[in-house]
Amino acid sequence: MAMAYPMLEELRLKRMVMTDESLELISRSFKNFKVLVLSSCEGFSTDGLAAIAANCRNLTELDLRESEVDDFSGHWLTHFPDSCISLVSLNISCLASGVSFSALERLVGRCPSLRTLRPKLMLRMDALGLPMARTLGLSWSPGPKGC
């Protein structure tokens, strides 16, 4: 596929079996890859997602809606580059164990273009903090002391 479509920027798959090896191949084969949407897909893990995060420097959207992901590590988010200026949308709400809050917080801090974030989180708003709340599209203000 890489030889036939070297300029591929976007891949949207539904009800497919993807492997970590496939995600690794995508991440290394398409230098200008921008959008990966895996809807109701299975067969891959956070290891494959780590390869996408590390190698797809122009990634604007990663959407894993309703996919079954083998979650080996909530720290795969740390594989995004330090200056992740292209990422606009991240939907990882399907991850069974959620993600590391600290890794998510670091990602939001270094992705100034991030506008849509859909994690699987259950947090108190005061623990979330203002920058994260803004990214999630929530309004937030700290309560009075002691609340």
Q: Which residue in the block uniquely carries the two structure tokens 């990966």?
A: 36
d(CA 98, CA 122): 9
Confidence of residue 95 (pLDDT cuts 50, 70, 90): confident
Contacts 24+ apart (CB under 8 A), 68-72: 68/41, 68/42, 68/94, 69/44, 69/45, 69/94, 69/95, 69/96, 70/44, 70/45, 70/46, 71/45, 71/46, 71/95, 71/96, 71/97, 72/45, 72/46, 72/47
pLDDT of residue 105: 81
Confidence of residue 130 (pLDDT cuts 50, 70, 90): low
pLDDT of residue 147: 35
Residue 29 has pLDDT above 80, yes or no: yes
Range scoring the smallest mean pLDDT among 38-42, 80-84, 94-98 = 94-98
pLDDT of residue 88: 94
pLDDT of residue 4: 85
Measured in residues, the chain has a length of 147
Q: Which CATH class is domain 10-135?
A: alpha beta
pLDDT of residue 127: 55
Range scoring the smallest mean pLDDT among 18-22, 74-78, 80-84 = 74-78
Chain centre distance of CA 78 = 10
